[in-house]
Amino acid sequence: MAACGRRCQPAREACAMSKLLLRIGLWGVQERSPRRVRQILLVNLAALGAAVVTVSYQLFYLAYGLAPFAQVVVLNGCCLAAYLLCLWLNRRGRYQLARDGLVATTSVHLYLVDLLAGIEVHLFYFTLLFMLPLLYHRQGARRLAVLGAVVLLLFVLAHFGRTPAMLPEPILRVMYVANAAGAMGMIGVIAYLFNAEIIRMENTLARNNRSLRRQSLTDELTGLMNRRSLMQFLKREWSRMQREQGSLSILMCDIDDFKSYNDHYGHPAGDQVLRRIALPLATAAQRPTDMVARYGGEEFTIVLSNTPASEALHLARRLLAEVRALQIAHAHSRAAAVVTMSVGMASTTVQAPGGFQELLQQADQALYEAKKAGRNRVAVHRRGAAEEHLSVV
Top pLDDT among 24 and 255 is at: 255
* pLDDT surpasses 80 at 357: yes
The answer to whether 332 and 260 have CB atoms below 8 angstroms apart is yes
Supply the pLDDT for residue 23: 61
Residues contacting 278, CB < 8 A, separation 6+: 222, 223, 224, 292, 294, 300
Residue 387 in this model has a pLDDT that exceeds 50: no
For 29, list phi and psi in degrees, rounded to 5: -85, 120
CB atoms within 10 A of CB 31: 6
DSSP labels for 171-199?
A: HHHHHHHHHHHHHHHHHHHHHHHHHHHHH
Residue 168, judged by CB atoms within 10 A of its CB (0-12, 13-18, 19+), counts as exposed
- What mean pLDDT is predicted for residues 111-116? 86
Estimate to the nearest angstrom the gap between the alpha carbon of 161 and the chain centroid.
51
Asked if 146 and 103 touch (Cβ cutoff 8 Å), the reply is no
In the chain, the percentage of residues whose pLDDT exceeds 70 is 87
- Stated as kind and residue range, the H or E segment containing 388 is strand 388-392
Going across the sheet that includes 388-392, the strands are 291-296, 299-305, 247-255, 341-349, 378-383, 388-392
Predicted local confidence at residue 306, as pLDDT: 87
pLDDT of residue 238: 86
Give the pLDDT score at 392: 60
How many Å separate Cα 300 from the centre of its chain? 31
Tell me the domains of the chain and their CATH numbers. Answer: 2-213 (no CATH), 227-392 (3.30.70.270)
Contact 267, 319 (CB under 8 A): no
- How far, in whole angstroms, is CA 358 from its chain's centroid? 39
Q: What does the alpha-carbon distance between residue 102 and residue 188 come to, in Å, rounded to a whole number?
A: 19
In whole angstroms, how large is the CA radius of gyration of the chain?
A: 36
The pairing of beta strand 341-349 with beta strand 388-392? unpaired
228 C-beta neighbours (distance < 10 Å), count: 13
DSSP symbol at 122: G
User: What's 225's DSSP letter?
Assistant: B
Burial of 114 (0-12, 13-18, 19+ CB in 10 A): buried
Query: What's the confidence (pLDDT) of residue 8?
Result: 58
Q: What is the rounded average pLDDT of the residues 314-319?
A: 94
C-beta separation of 348 from 383 below 8 A = yes
> Which of these, 312, 318, 297, lies nearest to 250 by C-alpha position?
312
pLDDT digits (tens, 9 = 90+) for 148-198: 899 899 888 888 877 777 777 787 788 788 888 888 888 887 788 778 777
Instruction: Please state, as a whole number, how many other Cβ atoms lie within 10 Å of the Cβ of residue 303.
Output: 25
The total of other beta-carbon atoms located within 10 Å of residue 21's CB is 20
What are 21-44's pLDDT values in tens digits?
556 655 555 556 777 777 888 888
Q: Which amino acid belongs to residue 152? A: L
| Average pLDDT of span 335-361 | 86
Between residues 141 and 363, the one the model is more confident about:
363
Of 237, 258, 374, 382, the C-alpha closest to 310 is 382
277-312: pLDDT as tens digits: 999 999 887 788 899 999 999 999 999 988 888 899
Q: Are 105 and 86 in contact (CB under 8 A)?
A: yes
The yes-or-no verdict on residue 386 having pLDDT over 50 is: no
Distances (CA, A) of 184 to 187, 250, 319: 5, 66, 69
* Higher-pLDDT residue of 363, 215: 363
Q: What are phi and psi of 143, to 5 degrees?
A: -65, -40
Tell me the range of 9-13, 34-38, 63-67, 84-88 where mean pLDDT is highest.
84-88
What's residue 383's pLDDT? Answer: 62
Structure confidence at residue 348 as a pLDDT band (50, 70, 90): confident
Distance from the first to the final alpha carbon of the chain = 69
Identify whether the C-beta of residue 333 lies closer than 8 Å to the C-beta of residue 237: no
Taking Cα atoms as reference points, which of 65, 99, 61, 57 lies closest to residue 82?
99
With cut-offs at 50, 70 and 90, classify the pLDDT of residue 77.
Answer: very high
Residues 10, 17 contacting (CB under 8 angstroms): no
- For residue range 132-156, what is the model confidence (pLDDT) as tens digits? 888 887 777 888 889 889 989 988 8
Q: How confident is the model at residue 385 (pLDDT cuts 50, 70, 90)?
A: very low
Show Cβ contacts of residue 370 under 8 Å, excluding neighbours closer than 6 positions: 342, 343, 344, 377, 378, 379, 392
